[in-house]
Amino acid sequence: MPFTHGAQIYNMWVKAWNEDISVLEEITSSDCVVHQARMDGKSSNERKGPAALNGIIAEGCKFFDHVNMAIEVGPIVDGPYVSARWIFTGFYIGGIEGAQADIGEKMSFNGMDIFFVKDGKIMDYWVSSDGIYLMEQLRMF
């Protein structure tokens, strides 16, 4: 089933976070480029296609249990662009170097996504999130 409306595609993105990561294959171009500020020294455009978006979700969920991604604003569709503001919540399970938060402590932070969609597939993905607020909750400084 092709997804032609940007709001449908964004709702599938949220489904990938909350329920079924395999839907990324349906909504992501093999040439999709991720544009993301990174702290690991890697260039964001080194990652492409559904595997890149799968990696974003895997990295985002790796230190948390009972993850929930919810839309706060949007999705807003403007031609081939789709954007939304989201809130991520989850319970810290440990493993982040320098974090002083207790295991089981609930964390939440916000962010915004922009997709460029062509032929029913995500071609470019920009993400900006409030990592500073998350680091405050983790008591990293």
At residue 137, the pLDDT reads: 96
Nearest in space to 27 (alpha carbons), one of 48, 60, 57, 4: 4
At residue 63, the pLDDT reads: 96
Is the confidence at residue 48, as pLDDT, over 60?
Answer: yes
Say whether pTM exceeds 0.95: no
pLDDT digits (tens, 9 = 90+) for 78-129: 999 999 999 999 999 999 999 999 999 999 999 999 999 999 999 999 999 9
Is the confidence at residue 45, as pLDDT, over 90?
Answer: no
Name the strand (E) or helix (H) holding 84.
Answer: strand 81-92
- Give the C-alpha separation, 138 to 117, whole Å: 35
Domain architecture of the chain: domains with CATH? 6-137 (3.10.450.50)
